[in-house]
Amino acid sequence: MIHTGRPAVPAAIRFLPAVPEGFELNESERLSDGLRRLSLEELDRAIGGLLHGSDVDIAVHEARKSMKRLRAVLRLIRDELGDERYRRENVALRNTARLIGPVRDSAVLTETVSTIRSRFAPHLRRSAFETLETSLMRRHLEARAALMEDPVALRHVVYALRSARARYRVWPAEADPRETWRAAPATHSFDTMRGGLLRTYRRGRREMGIAEREPTAHNFHWWRKRVKYLRHQMELLRPMFPEVLDGYIVALDQLGDLLGEEHDLAELVALVAEEPELCADAAEVTLITALAQHRRSELQAEALVIGSKVYAESPKAFANRLEAYWSTSFALAR
């Protein structure tokens, strides 16, 4: 069972790899087998970390990451799963992740204050924002303690993940009319993924346009979510053409990092406005808000530049290009 150990070090968590090594399909396996294998590996990683990990922060972070990857898989084959099953599984993962969300979110807010102080250090006194940072760390430790001291909550998360594992384990590799109660199999064809890839890419492209026209925290947050899903889907398909997709994945990583920092700053600004007791010094609140908003503007501009390259193709051209990669590698899997 995970334990609290030493106080959290959010900086160490933030720079963990976006995906674990090996989160990709194998050219020698059929699509249904590969997706089932990867889904079970992610669930095992999340369950194992929560039950046996030595650091609650890392365990929570990795579990949430695994659930995001699984939701990217669901989006990839949504058309084959069917809307009803897709929605049920997606909501189940989303709600499970929310149960442990406060631990991760509170850690990120503490690190965000530290990042602002480091970035603007030449213009700030050393003790700047110490009160706020202390208050946020206290919130984080309380969130960790609440999770650890409520065995029912943690048990519920693990139970939900194990239930998902049981369902994903019986995804059939081939269609069987006698087993219609089970999830639809993922046919070994690019058409299985085409709709999901088009939807993820098209929505990300659309959200980017909305964020550019109306640069609100809400709009940039929704764009960030689409970028993350596309990034995980590209990781899955990387072996189709790594010489090309590696560079695309790096660009998506950079874009996701920019949008992630922008989101964290927006959350910090909203929190200090809603809970002024976190920092009694009104001048410091005004200062950190101004610095955060300034940095958000920089990040938004950088993200739009990279985004214009990531989403340069039309959705149809994007899907057709990936299909060409598939036809030279995965289409022949047995």
Task: Show which of 117, 151, 173 is a domain's final residue.
Answer: 173
pLDDT in tens, 293-334: 999 999 999 999 999 999 999 999 999 999 999 998 876 655
Indicate whether 140 and 258 sit together in one domain.
Answer: no
Q: Is residue 16 part of a domain?
A: no
Euclidean distance between CA atoms 304 and 300, whole angstroms: 6
Quote the mean pLDDT of the chain. 87
Indicate whether 111 and 89 sit together in one domain.
Answer: yes
Indicate whether 203 and 326 sit together in one domain.
Answer: yes
Q: Is 118 exposed, middle or buried (0-12, 13-18, 19+ CB in 10 A)?
A: exposed
Q: Is residue 312 part of a domain?
A: yes
Q: Is residue 6 part of a domain?
A: no
Q: Is the pLDDT score of 6 beyond 50?
A: no
Q: Is residue 59 part of a domain?
A: yes
Indicate whether 114 and 236 sit together in one domain.
Answer: no
Share of the chain above pLDDT 90, in %: 66
Q: How many structural domains are present in the chain? A: 2
Euclidean distance between CA atoms 101 and 208, whole angstroms: 25
Q: Check residue 15 and give its pLDDT.
A: 39
pLDDT in tens, 257-281: 999 999 999 999 999 999 888 887 8
Q: Check residue 13 and give its pLDDT.
A: 38
Domain housing 202? 187-334
- Within 8 A by CB and 6+ apart from 255, the residues are 227, 303, 306, 307, 310
Q: Is the pLDDT score of 9 beyond 80?
A: no
Q: CA 121 → CA 108, 115, 117, 223, 279, distances in Å?
A: 19, 10, 5, 30, 19
- Model confidence, pTM: 0.87
Q: Are 314 and 143 in contact (CB under 8 A)?
A: no
More confident: 179 or 245: 245
Q: Is residue 61 part of a domain?
A: yes
Tokens describing residue 114: 């530290």
pLDDT in tens, 129-181: 888 889 999 999 999 898 888 878 888 999 999 999 999 988 755 555 444 44
Indicate whether 56 and 142 sit together in one domain.
Answer: yes
Indicate whether 141 and 273 sit together in one domain.
Answer: no
Indicate whether 162 and 224 sit together in one domain.
Answer: no
Indicate whether 154 and 270 sit together in one domain.
Answer: no
Phi, psi dihedrals of residue 223, rounded to the nearest 5°? -65, -45
- Within 8 A by CB and 6+ apart from 129, the residues are 113, 116, 117, 279, 284, 288
Indicate whether 211 and 118 sit together in one domain.
Answer: no
Q: Is residue 5 part of a domain?
A: no
Q: Check residue 36 and give its pLDDT.
A: 92
pLDDT in tens, 106-135: 999 999 999 988 888 777 777 778 888 899
Q: What is the DSSP letter of 240?
A: G
Euclidean distance between CA atoms 222 and 112, whole angstroms: 20
Q: Is residue 140 part of a domain?
A: yes
Confidence label for 65 from pLDDT (cuts 50, 70 and 90) = very high
Q: Check residue 333 and give its pLDDT.
A: 55
Q: Is the pLDDT score of 201 beyond 50?
A: yes
Indicate whether 216 and 334 sit together in one domain.
Answer: yes
Task: Show which of 173, 205, 232 is a domain's final residue.
Answer: 173
Q: CA 151 → CA 7, 48, 231, 244, 288, distances in Å?
A: 20, 16, 34, 46, 37
Q: Check residue 318 and give its pLDDT.
A: 98
Q: Check residue 177 and give its pLDDT.
A: 44
Q: Is residue 224 part of a domain?
A: yes
Phi, psi dihedrals of residue 118, rounded to the nearest 5°? -65, -40
Q: Check residue 284 and give its pLDDT.
A: 85
Indicate whether 78 and 116 sit together in one domain.
Answer: yes
Indicate whether 151 and 64 sit together in one domain.
Answer: yes
Q: Is the pLDDT score of 203 beyond 80?
A: yes
